[in-house]
Structure 1
Amino acid sequence: MSFTLAVCAEMVHTDLPILERVTRLHHAGFAVEIWDWSSKDAAQLVATGAQFTSMTGYLSGDLTTPDGSADLLRTAEESIPFAQAIGCPSLNLHGTGLGEGGLPDRPLEVVTGDMWLAAERTLTSIARLGERHGVTFVLENLNTEVDHPGTPFARAADTLALVRAVGSPHLKMNLDLYHAQIGEGNLVELIRRSAPYLGEVQVADVPGRCEPGSGEVNWPFVARALAETGYDGVVAMEAFASAGTDAALDRFRAAFTLT
């Protein structure tokens, strides 16, 4: 069993234009992930020859308010033609829109029961949208302690609960193990609970959000535990390079190459 290894082009080779970053990652043997599609040219991305595994699947909106839900659905639908043009099968969502510095557009101190029900309804509509267009939306967990304070439905336990409640193959989890290590820990057990619902796994080490092997997590152990669940999908490095991109890519590949 092996994983499809991808790298987020937004966080490595940061001294280069985005198209050159994508090209370098492709030539290094990695699939590629991107964030905001609205500032990019689909034809130019396709011309790099890269395989794209994930992109941000909305421009604005939230899961709980009537206007925010409508905005999320509208901009998610607007994102689908771009995803189809670059052959990207997964469109990434968060508990609410993220603004400058990753801060939530609508920070919440308390998430009520009514908000949970509203989020389930919104995500059910998102799943139906994905079914109509043959794409899959993935709901990413975040951490509120360091990077995204005030984000609702941020924990992996939250995203798992919502994905399970919707119960559609067109809405899955993007299990970000960097965020989970900060907010929840117990990564192997979290992987086991989440395995039936995974659409993608993202990784970065803690502290610092750099490549696997730069921090406290035993990534080869995590990789074996992930494989033992039967998961053979995308593992994406959404991380900065601690000491040069090429070295960071080598460490990532080594951590998630099963022997």
Structure 2
Amino acid sequence: MLRFSANLGFLWAELPLAGRIAAAGRAGFSAVEMHWPYDVPAESVAAAAAEAGVVVTGVNTVRGNVAAGEFGLGALPGREGEFEASVAEAVAFCRATGATSIHAMAGVIDDTPASRTTFIANLRRAADEAARDGVTLLLEAINPRDKPGYFYSRVDEAAEIAEAVGLDNVRLLFDVYHVGVATGDVLTRLRRFFPLIGHVQIAAVPSRAEPDEGEIAYPAIFTALEELGYRGWVGCEYKPRGDTTEGLVWTERLGVSL
């Protein structure tokens, strides 16, 4: 049976982080994942998760200078020290909350020999640090419509980087929404890259709303994950059409339970 986690970057976004965690627990989720929760002490997050009866699965490394349009630091030559600090911050958060994965954000930059070499070297150092705490680094291709110029937009490009790094705790974050927008042919890519997948996320294509609308036949995705033997969490990283709790009717429509 698939297990679903609530992505609190989008769900119950009107609430403070502790309120979002509590709401996820009340809604029936057993796990939560986050984008950039670093303005809240990790110990407070851990306490809120324990009270709500949920586990924390993962976080992202910081984006960098958001006002300047930065969206990660991993592939940016000359910013190695900042990326290393961002990984250390994320690993410390995982250690305090029990989270086991970090989306290592590459950044908005062309894929050149310099940026690729930088990212691979950064990932190798970061993976060694993360491994001490049993943490996996995740690589997520982000579609060019949502984030033009991101280092990679196709899951096969992310797979090439993971294979070049060559470490067991560097894996793919297979976001069905991003794969659907960037390339389509989601089921083929899911099966092809399954051995490298460390986490899965879902949302409707093209709207990024609840997964009961749009182009993706999610029952087929869920069946494929079951058949492939996926044992990780399925992150619900969608933007609700309205009230988050009311929108969870999608689980009934798609025949799944939280």
TM norm structure 2: 0.87
Instruction: Report the equivalent of 1:85.
Output: 96
Q: Distance in 2 between matches of 1:41 and 1:115?
A: 33
Q: Distance in 2 between matches of 1:174 and 1:256?
A: 24
Task: Give the letter for the 1:224 counterpart.
Answer: T
Say if 2:75 is the partner of 1:64: yes
Deviation string 1:229-254 (CA, Å, 9 cap, x unpaired) is 22121100101112431233231476
Specify whether residues 62 and 10 from structure 1 end up closer, same or farther in structure 2 by C-alpha distance, changes over 3 A only: closer
1:74 Cα shift? 1.9
1:227 Cα shift? 1.8
Q: Of 45, 52, 56, which residue of structure 2 is paired with 1:52?
A: 56
Instruction: Report the equivalent of 1:190.
Output: 189
Query: Is the 1:223–1:255 Cα contact (8 Å) retained in structure 2?
Result: no
Instruction: Report the equivalent of 1:179.
Output: 178
Please show how residues 30-45 of structure 1 align to structure 2 within 5 Å: 30=29, 31-45=31-45
2:124 is paired with a residue whose SS is helix
Instruction: Report the equivalent of 1:102.
Output: none
RMSD between aligned residues: 2.0
Q: Distance in 2 between matches of 1:202 and 1:149?
A: 20
Aligned positions, number: 245
The gaps in structure 2 that reach 5 residues or longer are 65-71
Q: Distance in 2 between matches of 1:136 and 1:69?
A: 19
The gaps in structure 1 that reach 5 residues or longer are 97-106
Specify whether residues 76 and 29 from structure 1 end up closer, same or farther in structure 2 by C-alpha distance, changes over 3 A only: same
Specify whether residues 141 and 14 from structure 1 end up closer, same or farther in structure 2 by C-alpha distance, changes over 3 A only: same
Query: Is the 1:11–1:238 Cα contact (8 Å) retained in structure 2?
Result: yes
Q: Distance in 2 between matches of 1:230 and 1:251?
A: 23
Deviation string 1:17-65 (CA, Å, 9 cap, x unpaired) is 2211110101222111111122112222222222111111345352334
Deviation string 1:45-99 (CA, Å, 9 cap, x unpaired) is 2222221111113453523344222321221012211111111111112221xxx
Is 239-248 or 175-184 further displaced after alignment?
A: 239-248
Instruction: Report the equivalent of 1:101.
Output: none
Specify whether residues 256 and 191 from structure 1 end up closer, same or farther in structure 2 by C-alpha distance, changes over 3 A only: farther
Percent identity of the aligned residues? 27
Instruction: Report the equivalent of 1:200.
Output: 199
Please show how residues 87-126 of structure 1 align to structure 2 within 5 Å: 87-96=98-107, 107-108=108-109, 110-126=110-126
